[in-house]
Amino acid sequence: MGTPPGTPAGLRARTRRWPAHVWNGLSVALGVALVHALVAALWPGAQAAMAAQLAMAAAIVASLADTPGHPRRNLKRVATGGLLALGSSVLATLLDPWAAAVALLVGGVGLVGALCLSWGLRAAAVSFAPILALVFALSWPALPWPLVLGACGTGVLLYLGWAGLSSRLLQRRYRVLALAQALDGLAQLLTGRAALLSSGGGAAAMNDWLGNESQLAEQLQAARDLLFPDAQQCPREAALLLHAIELRDLLLASRLDLELLGEDPVGQRLRDTLVQRLRDMALTLQHCRDALLDGRAAPAPVPRAPDWQALPPQDTRQRLQLALQDRLRHLDVELNAMVALLDPSRPPPPLPLEAAQLRQFTAPEGWPLAALSAQLHLDSPVLRHALRSALALSCAYAIALVLPWASHPHWLVLSVAVVLRGSLDQTLARRNLRVAGTVLGCALVLALAQIPSPWLWALVLQACVGLAHAYVSRRYLITATAATIMALLQAHLANPTLGLAIGERLADTVLGAALAWGFSYVLPAWERRNLPRAVLRTRAALQRYAELALIPAEGMAQRLARRQAYDALDALSAALKRSGAEPRRVQPPQQALNTLLDHGYRLMAHLSMVRQSLLRRSDALGDIAQRLPTHSAALQRALAGQEPVPHPIQALQDWSLLPMSDPGTDLRPWLLRRLKVSLDDAARAGQAAEAALQQLRD
């Protein structure tokens, strides 16, 4: 029997399953409310109410960088964003009497904010902080700059203290939730792989599979960033994550040789057995996730091995069936280890890597100036986006001053700032969601206006602060809706005589979205321009992994090379997907790049299988170990386009040439075949890379 939902225990069970972004949104809303209340209560004199509003605005801006993460990283981001916001607010206050100077400031702040993206996605929230602070400052009446500096500085400092405290209090929960999300993503990947096998490689199933791959990569990195810096404090969770990473690596190999199954009834039965086994594994992972979230003592057991039907004696697919069984055994090893780790009565085994080694797998932190200087050239997509943003924001402010509804020019600036992204694909998506969210938010404010209660409106305002923060990178429609409600209520509560400026909000949003869309074509950084670097990076990463994966001993460099290869392939795939929204005349060579991705992932799968064989069964290699350095060099030459596709390898696609032996008893012939087929995929990936580079340069 489950826990009754209306009891305190039932409430605790439900809150345990709240995702990290919900906890983070609640924390931000509470922190902003506390800053407002403290400043209102403690600020001396008649300016307490205005100081509280300024401090709350500064806290909202500083909270942009307060995300579920390691406390040390979080504090650095919040402090950096707060300082940029403070400078932006004070400058806007000083320049307020001169419209031309403010227009230049708007462009300058947009330039500086966009240049923060030189440090990657970790700086995304920080990059928007000075822009949002400027938008808030433009909405204030004329104020003395010491008041703005004092109140906003107080708001930033108070929120910084709250961010440090809440991050430490929630750290344990964040770790569990990040790991649970990674397990859920891995289960979805297994389910997607099963659906792909069931559909025979249909386009929809393939897109779902690729989407799950990209999503899981982000989830695994988020879990690494939370767990690995303090792995000694959570060894069980860190070990679980390491096994999840290995399971993902092994799963990639499940796609190999399946084209040999055929489409006849016998082949379909084999495929159905494999599909059911993958679904059972996904179900076990979901049970592991639930056990982790609920703190249960015993997760669900690993399902028993599938019942493979006997094949006719003359059917040579018996050999492939043996290989599939061997792969599933490897998956079972990782899955059993994960189930065992979720049993609190068993002590966690020692981690295979030391704490300093694990920290090398976390995302970079800090703000090295070299990252910024590397972007200061016109070929840089970051600099082009920064210049584009500066022009767009300055024009938006200038246009707002001459419009009939110019009482809220900062709204037009904000609309352009939130819609204009670094790529056309992202800008179009953000444009549609921003307009839809504004319409929905205005409708909800109209409904709320039927209940004229300032206390209720203030409560809704604080709730929208948390909602807008929680869903900004999850469901932007919710963020756009909450931000609209927040802006309308904040303006009305500050000056009730002006009423609810719903019409102006709608007009500013639509015009701002149109301006951002138009400016997307100013100094565009089409994906085609940067794809040569992405192709070269992908090829180099595959060469590095091919060099290290065939060493019969696991090492730190091998793990790092594997992650870098996955990252490079994922980045190339994401760039190719983004290019789909760009004009046809600048479209990259889709076929060559898709071929590179397909054979690149296949090569990773081959190398993963060989690597697992070397690690688990090195005693069964015999003289093959002596051939590995030569084969590694051949793979690197093939990836460089210096080796033709081996013609005899085509015969390896015939199941009659599969090794006769059981890989569980004699691994060598299977390993030799894997090495030969990997050379085929490496040569095809190398040729596709050369073709893509040639077409991109033409």
**DSSP states of 235-278 as a string?**
HHHHHHHHHHHHHHHHHHGGGTTGGGG-SSHHHHHHHHHHHHHH
Closest CA to 221 of 237, 241, 192: 241
Among 141, 172, 2, 139, CA closest to 60: 139
Query: Helix or strand or coil: residue 562?
Result: helix
The letter for the amino acid at 584 is: R
Cβ 23 vs Cβ 473: under 8 Å: no
Q: CA-to-CA distance for 594 and 358, rounded, in angstroms?
A: 33
In the chain, % helix, strand, coil (3-state, to 5) comes to 80, 0, 20
The per-residue pLDDT of the chain, averaged, comes to 85
- Report the interhelical angle of 424-448 vs 476-494 (nearest 10°): 50
Intervals of the chain under pLDDT 70: 1-13, 199-211, 255, 297-307, 405-407, 494-495, 497-499, 553-554, 617-622, 645-658, 661-664
pLDDT of residue 444: 92
Rounded Cα distance between 161 and 78, Å, is: 10
- Residue position matching structure tokens 């046809």: 584
Q: Where are the alpha helices (DSSP H) in 449-555?
A: 454-470, 476-494, 502-519, 527-549
**Nearest partner of 670 among 681, 682, 658, judged by Cα:** 658
Looking at residue 306, its pLDDT comes to: 65
pTM equals 0.85
- pLDDT for residue 146: 92
- Predicted confidence at residue 210, as pLDDT, reads 65
On the CB side of 380, how many CA atoms lie within 13 Å of its CA?
16
Rounded to whole angstroms, how far apart are CA atoms 605 and 252?
Answer: 5
End-to-end alpha carbon distance in the chain: 67
In angstroms, the Cα distances linking 378 to 111, 361, 386, 490, 529 are 14, 32, 11, 40, 11
Instruction: Give 123: exposed, middle or buried? Use CB within 10 Å, 0-12, 13-18, 19+.
Output: buried
Q: Which of 489, 494, 433 is nearest to 458 (CA)?
A: 489
The pLDDT of residue 1: 42
Instruction: Check residue 685 and give its pLDDT.
Output: 93
Contact status, residue 302 vs residue 284, Cβ threshold 8 Å: yes
Contacts for 244 with CB less than 8 Å, ≥ 6 apart? 179, 182, 183, 186, 220, 223, 338
pLDDT computed for residue 409 by the predictor: 83
- Per-residue model confidence (pLDDT) at position 297: 58
pLDDT, tens digit (0-9, with 9 covering 90-100), for 8-20: 555 566 777 888 8
